[in-house]
Amino acid sequence: MTTEIFTYGIAIVLQAAILVFFLRKAIMKKKARTSTTNTTTPKYTDSYDGKRQLALQVTPTQLGLAVQPAVTKVHGLVIDWDMNGTVLTLTAYITGAANAFLSSGSFLTGAGSNPSVAENAAVLVQIAQGYLGRCMPVNDTGLPLPGTVRFYLLTNKGVFAAQEMLAAIESDMSPWAELFYRANGMLEEIKNSSVAQ
C-alpha cells in the first residue's frame, strides 16, 4: 500500500513538473512575441506627428519612380505653416498624392483621389524643383517658428528646406510667394473635395 502511494506521489509530482515546464515555455514564447511586435510596429502613425514624419520620409522608390543618381530631383513637397499656434501641414507628391492635416488633430488624407487635386499636386512639385537652389539640405525636420512657413523639398538626395516669414510672403516681398499661393490654391481644392465627398 505504501509503494502504491509512493508511486502515485511520484506520478503526481512528475505531472506537475511537466505542467510547470510547458506553462513556463508558453509564457516565454508569448513574451518573445510581444517584444518582437513592439519593436517593429511604427509609433503613433495616426497622430499628427506620426503622419507628418511619414510624409517627410517618402522616397522615390515608394512612389515607384526611377531617378538618375546624377541629378537631384524633387519628388515631394511638405509645407508647414504656423497659424496662431496651430500648424497646418500640406503634402504633395509628383504622383498626384496630396494630404492636409492640422496639429490640432484634423486630417484630410487621400485628397489626391480627386483628379483636380492630383493634377495640382504634381504641378506644385514640378514648380518646387525650381526652388531647390534656395534650400539647404537638412536633418532636422522640426516645425516652423511662430509667424513662419517652412518648405521641405523631398529629393532622391535627401530633404532640403527653407523657412520664410509669413508677413514677407503676404506682402509679396518673398520669392516663395508664388509657391505658397499655389499651395494655398491646392489646399482650397482639397477642402472643397472633402466637403463634396
163 pLDDT above the threshold of 90:
yes
Does residue 121 sit in the same domain as residue 161? yes
Does residue 14 sit in the same domain as residue 36? yes
What are the tens digits of pLDDT across the range 26-59?
A: 666 666 665 544 444 345 567 899 999 999 999 9
138 pLDDT above the threshold of 70:
yes
Does residue 70 sit in the same domain as residue 15? no
CA–CA gap between residue 78 and residue 183 (Å, rounded): 10
Residue 77 bridge partners (DSSP) = 92, 153
- Structural domain count of the chain: 2
Does residue 90 sit in the same domain as residue 120? yes
Domain coverage including residue 18: 1-41
What are the tens digits of pLDDT across the range 69-98?
A: 899 999 999 999 998 889 999 999 999 999
Does residue 28 sit in the same domain as residue 122? no
Does residue 89 sit in the same domain as residue 143? yes
Does residue 12 sit in the same domain as residue 64? no
Does residue 32 sit in the same domain as residue 98? no
Does residue 23 sit in the same domain as residue 92? no
pTM of the model: 0.75
